[in-house]
Amino acid sequence: MTDSPVRVRFAPSPTGYLHVGGARTALFNWLYARKTGGTFVLRIEDTDQERSTDAHTRVILEGLTWLGINWDEGPYFQGAESPRHRADAERLLASGRAYRCFASAEELDAERKLAVAAGRPYRYERARWALSPEEEARRLAAGDPFVIRFAVPDAELAWEDAVHGRISFQGRDLDDFVILRSDGSAIYNLAVVSDDIAMRITHVIRGDDHVSNTPKQIALYQALGAALPVFAHVPMILGTDGKKLSKRHGATAVGDYQDQGILPAAMRNFLALLGWSPGGDREVLTGEELVGLFSLEAIQGKPAVFDTAKLEWMNGQYLSHTGADELLPPVMRQLDRMGVGAKGRDVRALIDAAKARSRTVLQLAEQVAVRLDASRIVLDEKAEKLQKKMGPAFGASLTVAAGALEALTPAEWTPDRLLEAVKHAAETHGLKLGDAMQPVRVALTGGTVSEPVNELLAVVGRDESLARIRAAMARTQDAAPA
């Protein structure tokens, strides 16, 4: 089994967007495939006709692609495999491992309700619904609807889980579950096993919520005469309140993070570290390192809380270390959305100026926009406070700065010369460097935080910088009491 080439699969059902939990499961499968030189198969489990949509399928594929998770085979659609599912059910029926059950859903529901009302656990009893051969033949001939149930063996159903170690269930604790509906379509557990066998899947890496399906599936593999794959059940992802991550917790879809300006590489790195650790103190890892270090056994057995603050920190790390060329497309897209044109400027220089102080592409684009377009300047709280605190000195500083800067020719408008000029002006007027710089920063950006002021001036440009300083001077004069 384990000596045959590794084949793993990610099998989402297209009934919603690509959840971060699903994305992480996909990532683990992908990492394992890449690590072992195996094959990563994508299978869409669209057998729930009611809830599955093509739009969801598309979003899932886009999400995976965005994360850089590429698949080697597929996407296959489970719905197309129903003839094989049915054939497998028939085989089980023929071999006596499964049987027809004529109990209707209504009858069963009624019994269940009764049991619950009486406060006792409900169990499906095989004997309770058993029919004599004659009776079964009669109802079959009459065309009565029936489902096919799997006769769960009274035996231990155990496996060596790659993340949890040995897990064991007793067959007698499991009900005879339905494998084929009365309309002839397969139920999940049969469909999955049938597909995984047909696709020669060697390692089933999936969410923890499938642990209790596994004994049923193992019994099915055995009854179908197929070798068992290795199972690896990865724990759930929780919200900050310790509950399973859901819409209530805000962003849960991969697309949400894309919209918030998270870089795919950062998202991938963060997701990989959620429930898995390479050991030691490593945090920021390249895709290659992730692949090289990955192992199923190092996956954590307990659920992990999704910490947005750490994601953003991680994203900031990537933002700082990613070149402007690479950041240009997402920033341009965002500027576009904001309705800000590049005006023939080299946006890459602006990206380099602002990326170290941004945690998301959104923040970065906002900073680029301010440097591009004066109309986006809005005094923030700290800037207001500074201006108030400095009083007339604020305007005076600007006047000093303007004087020194105007003396510079366009050719002299370089970071070095700018720093020199401002320093000199500050000295001659007895100003502290900070008192000379901060008002300029506020005039140029509306905030008290930015790259060094001389670099800011250089990147905004001579005419534009001077215009912004003059505008700020005018503004402070208006605000000053008569």
Question: Please, how many CA atoms are within 13 Å of residue 134, restricted to the half-sphere of its CB?
Answer: 0
Residue for token pair 């991550």: 245
330 within 8 A of 361, measured Cβ to Cβ: yes
Does the active-site annotation cover 432? no
| Cα 139 from Cα 143, distance rounded (Å) | 6
Give the DSSP H or E segment for 42.
Answer: strand 39-44
Active-site residue (options: 35, 113, 243, 247): 247
Under rule CB under 7 A, residue 121 binds RNA: yes
Q: State the minimum distance, in angstroms, from the CB of residue 60 to RNA.
A: 12
Residues between 21 and 60 that touch RNA (CB under 7 A): 45, 47-48, 51
Measure Cα distances from 1 to 217, 226, 394, 466 in Å: 17, 11, 76, 73
Under rule CB under 7 A, residue 117 binds RNA: no
Under rule CB under 7 A, residue 242 binds RNA: yes
Q: State the minimum distance, in angstroms, from the CB of residue 270 to RNA.
A: 8
Measure Cα distances from 104 to 110, 134, 178, 303, 391 in Å: 10, 19, 12, 38, 83
Q: State the minimum distance, in angstroms, from the CB of residue 284 to RNA.
A: 8
Structure tokens at 228: 């068992």
DSSP class of residue 230?
Answer: E
What count of other Cβ atoms lies within 10 Å of the Cβ of residue 452? 14
Residues between 365 and 404 that touch RNA (CB under 7 A): none
Residues between 5 and 24 that touch RNA (CB under 7 A): 13, 15
The number of residues that bind RNA (CB under 7 A) is: 85
Residues between 77 and 106 that touch RNA (CB under 7 A): 78, 103-105
Q: Which of 309, 344, 375, 410 is the binder for RNA (CB under 7 A)?
A: 309
What count of other Cβ atoms lies within 10 Å of the Cβ of residue 268? 24
Residues between 124 and 163 that touch RNA (CB under 7 A): 124, 145, 147
Under rule CB under 7 A, residue 303 binds RNA: yes
What residues contact residue 258 under an 8 Å CB cut-off, 6+ apart?
A: 63, 66, 264
Stretch that binds RNA, among 1-9, 86-94, 241-249, 404-412 (CB under 7 A): 241-249
Under rule CB under 7 A, residue 419 binds RNA: yes
Q: Which of 58, 243, 248, 388 is the binder for RNA (CB under 7 A)?
A: 243
Q: Which of 450, 460, 466, 472 is the binder for RNA (CB under 7 A)?
A: 450
Nearer to RNA, 272 or 335 (CB): 272
Q: Which amino acid is it at 65?
A: T
Nearer to RNA, 106 or 478 (CB): 106
Among residues 80, 98, 105, 102, the alpha carbon closest in space to that of 185 is found at 80
Catalytic residues: 247
